[in-house]
């Protein structure tokens, strides 16, 4: 970032999703020259806990496979699951932000993708609660 202006939390979340998207497509590490600590720590956390995050997603996808999700939807859901499982962020905020990102980046105006993402995240949250 050339300016010393800090990104809002919403902008930081969008930046995390964009980075996760790029990593998923490129299948290789990108240099994280990110000044925002929240962005850097979140991306590193998703990468570090990737197998567990994908397991939680896979276990809660009904009649669907994780590799069938679009790259963007996968990035949004992975980040949301990371936050649910590994941070203290309230689940209502996590799901709301994920649904807003889905509306902005992947939904085609019919809310089908939003409903799908909402259902997956709700299922993951219930499963996490059962794990204790």
| Structural domain span for residue 56 | 9-131
Prediction pTM value: 0.90
Q: Compute the distance between CA of residue 53 and CA of residue 95 in angstroms, rounded to an integer.
A: 15
Residue 83, C-beta contacts closer than 8 angstroms, at least 6 positions apart:
42, 89, 94
For the chain, the residue count is 132
Q: What pLDDT, on a 0 to 100 scale, did the predictor assign at position 47? A: 93
* CATH assignment at residue 71: 1.10.940.10
Instruction: Decide if 70 is inside a domain.
Output: yes
Tens-digit pLDDT string for the chain (132 aa): 444 468 888 999 999 999 999 999 987 666 666 678 899 999 999 999 999 999 999 999 988 899 999 999 999 999 999 999 999 999 999 999 999 999 999 988 888 999 999 999 999 999 999 987
């Amino acid at each position: 970032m050339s300016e010393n202006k800090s990104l809002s939390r919403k902008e930081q979340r969008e930046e995390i999703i964009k980075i996760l998207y790029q990593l998923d497509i490129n299948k290789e590490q990108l240099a994280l020259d990110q000044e925002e600590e929240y962005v850097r720590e979140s991306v590193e956390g998703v990468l570090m806990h990737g197998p567990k995050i994908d397991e939680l997603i896979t276990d809660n996808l009904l009649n669907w496979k994780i590799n069938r999700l679009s790259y963007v939807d996968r990035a949004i859901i992975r980040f949301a699951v990371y936050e649910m499982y590994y941070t203290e962020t309230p689940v209502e905020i996590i799901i709301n932000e994920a649904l807003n990102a889905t509306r902005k980046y992947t939904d085609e105006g019919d809310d089908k993708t939003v409903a799908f993402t909402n259902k997956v995240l709700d299922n993951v949250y219930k499963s996490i609660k059962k794990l204790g």
